[in-house]
Amino acid sequence: MTDDSTDPRFAGLPGRPGKIVAIHLSYASRADQRGRRPAHPSYFFKPSSSVAPSGGTVERPPGTELLAFEGEIALVIGTTARRVPLDRAWDHVAWVTAANDLGLYDLRANDKGSNVRSKGGDGFTPVGPDLVDARAVVPDALRLRTWVNGELRQEDTTAGLLFTLPQVVADLSQHLTLEPGDVILTGTPAGSSVVVPGDVVEVEVDAPDAPGAPTSGLLVTTVTQGERAFDGELGSLPAVDDVQRAEAWGVEPAPARFRLTAELRDKLARAPVAGLSAQLRKRGLNTVTVDGVRPTHPDAKLVGTARTLRFVPGREDLFARHGGGYNAQKRAFDTVDEGEVIVIEARGEAGSGTFGDILALRAHARGAAGIVTDGGVRDHAAVAAVGIPVWSAGAHPAVLGRLHVPWDVDVAVACGGTTVEPGDVVVGDGDGVVVIPPALVEEVVDAALAQEEEDGWIAEQVAAGHPLDGLFPLDAQWRARFDAWRENR
């Protein structure tokens, strides 16, 4: 271990570490968020030059957007460990502290798992501020918490690890020699996400059930905007795609949602919304219409399953944190699947747009069945020209941030006075929009089409001059005549 006791970068450690070894996926919550559980731990190195103390800053380079925090538990090796057994591995850990394994996802793809550039930058490994004696804690009873701007974003314990802390030490020691002062970053739980200049990230590791509840204290890092961009003539420039954005923001795989068969979709396309609404009412469901919305094209028909997007009331500080970058609105439009309807909760606030022509084009390109919002639409004529079915509260020129903060996706939302869950069936026509629970859709659409056939026959009788009495609704005599017609047609 090099003696760097006077270097402020290493104030949270005994000195400059010879090596920093980090694990890719270790918490069950994070692995499930990524949609994969590794059978064994895998690792990468970070340079010691990336270490920073509590109270420091980290730069987000110009031309990048996906700087993500990862609160982690750091282990500091106290005695040399080489091929140590599992039951003695913890004896080689001297201290425990907090770390933030910052990463720049804009550079991740070209690193191909090594993370040299994406996680090796100066200031990308804040550690500290205090060291907790490893003898004073139980390795499976540590707690990790991370806050961004005072809001708790991560909380998990080492009981949620896929691989125990002693296992990680023992495993690494069979491949390489762990030396005094080496640091092991033991992975991050779910909740890691993107931070932007001005954000303050705080990480704490503690043992709340141990005597004296020892703690690392708060490891504080402020994100700043860098001024010097990367030189493309020297190496590859930052680049992002939907996969990197989703993983950086911590987007969980969309839950399994109900899918319409081609036969059901065809039936729903032929069924009027008024008829579907009537059949739902017969089954005790009255609050199933999205009120206050009208179609961009009066003759449009909408059939699909709901993909939900929720806005909360506008607040300047919240919009600064949630409105920029790859926010919930962009994620919804970027990940909508073919045949899905984006349903937006805007609380009936029509005094700003909830999307515009660019997002409409994106949804159309993804094969979305349509968009329903109880808020306004910007670029109304351009949206109409895209051709995707849209139901909204009307046109409005103001941007989203005037009234709304994009908050989350794939949750139950309130749109136009009714609750819409992801996977609900959404049908729209000139009369409005109705929401059908998936469990009832086949029964309801069959009944609606049968009623439509009956109503069509009644209309023919009325047009032929028959009075309504006994015909609408059908009495026994007229019912018999209708049944005979249906059998012989």
- Does some domain include residue 3? no
- Note the pLDDT tens digit of each residue in 387-414: 999 999 999 999 999 999 999 999 999 9
Which of 265, 287, 272 is closest to 450 using CA atoms? 272
204 and 285 assigned to the same domain = no
Considering the domain architecture, whether residues 452 and 337 belong to the same structural domain is answered as no
Residues ≥6 apart with Cβ < 8 Å to 268: 260, 276, 303, 425, 427, 441, 445
Residue 254 lies in a domain: no
Contacts of 149 (CB under 8 A, 6+ apart): 199, 200, 321
Residues 26 and 147 in one domain: yes
Task: Give the distance from CA 195 to its chain's centroid.
Answer: 15
**DSSP character at residue 321:** H
Domain of residue 475 covers: 447-488
CA angle (345 as vertex; 341, 350 as ends), nearest 5:
110
Distance in angstroms (rounded) separating the CA atoms of residues 172 and 164? 12
Mean pLDDT of the chain: 92
Among residues 249, 277, 296, the one where a domain terminates is 249
Count of C-beta atoms within a 10 Å radius of residue 467: 9
Tokens representing residue 62 in the block: 């110009």
Say if residue 473 is preceded by a cis peptide, omega within 30 of 0.
yes
> pLDDT value at position 4?
63
**Domain match, 361 and 387 both:** yes
SS3 302: strand
> How many whole angstroms separate alpha carbon 391 and alpha carbon 360?
12
**In a shared domain, residues 362 and 421:** yes
> Could you give the count of Cα atoms lying within 13 Å of 401 in the half-sphere of its Cβ?
10
2 found inside a domain: no
360 with 418, same domain: the answer is yes
With a cut of 60, say whether residue 3 has pLDDT above it: no
Distance CA 69, CA 55 (A): 15
Same structural domain for residues 403 and 455? no
pTM value surpassing 0.95:
no
Q: Could you say which of 224, 249, 274 is where a domain stops?
A: 249
In a domain, 1, yes or no: no
Q: How far apart are CA 306 and CA 317, in angstroms?
A: 30
Residue 96 counted as domain residue: yes
* Least trusted range by pLDDT, from 30-44, 82-96, 345-359, 425-439: 30-44
User: For 332-346, what is the mean pLDDT?
Assistant: 94
The DSSP 8-state label assigned to residue 65 in this structure reads -
The DSSP secondary-structure symbol of 27 reads B
Q: What angle do CA 342, 348, 350 make, to 5 degrees?
A: 90
- In a domain, residue 318? The reply is yes
Using only C-alpha atoms, the chain has a radius of gyration, in whole angstroms, of: 29
The reply to whether 154 and 222 lie within a common domain is yes
CATH number of the domain that residue 41 is part of = 3.90.850.10
Q: How big is the chain, counted in residues?
A: 489
Query: What is the per-residue burial (b if ≥16 Cβ within 10 Å, else e) of 5-44?
Result: eeeebbbbbbbbbbbbbbbebbbbbbbebbeeeeeebeeb
The pLDDT value recorded for residue 485 is 84
Q: Is pLDDT of 10 > 50?
A: yes
CATH value at residue 418:
3.50.30.40
Domain boundary among 442, 457, 478: 442
Neighbours of 365 (CB within 10 A): 12
Are residues 137 and 79 part of one domain? yes
Q: Which amino acid is at 389?
A: P
Number of structural domains, the chain?
3
In a domain, 257, yes or no: no
Angle value at C-alpha 57, between 51 and 59, nearest 5 degrees? 95
Same domain, 310 and 285: yes
More confident residue, 172 or 454: 172
CA 232/CA 306 separation, integer angstroms: 43
Residues 6 or more apart whose CB falls under 8 angstroms from that of 438 comprise 258, 305, 423, 424, 425
The predicted-structure confidence for 136-188, as pLDDT tens digits, reads as follows: 999 999 999 999 999 999 999 999 999 999 999 999 999 999 999 999 999 99
Both 298 and 149 in a single domain?
A: no
Flag whether 255 is in a domain: no
| C-alpha angle 464-465-471 in degrees, rounded to nearest 5 | 95
- Whole-angstrom Cα distance, residue 351 to residue 374? 11
Is a pLDDT exceeding 70 seen at residue 254? no
pLDDT at 256: 61
Distance CA 55, CA 182 (A): 22
Tell me: pLDDT of 198 over 80: yes
The alpha carbon torsion through 54, 55, 61, 67 (nearest 10 deg) reads 60
Same domain, 296 and 218: no
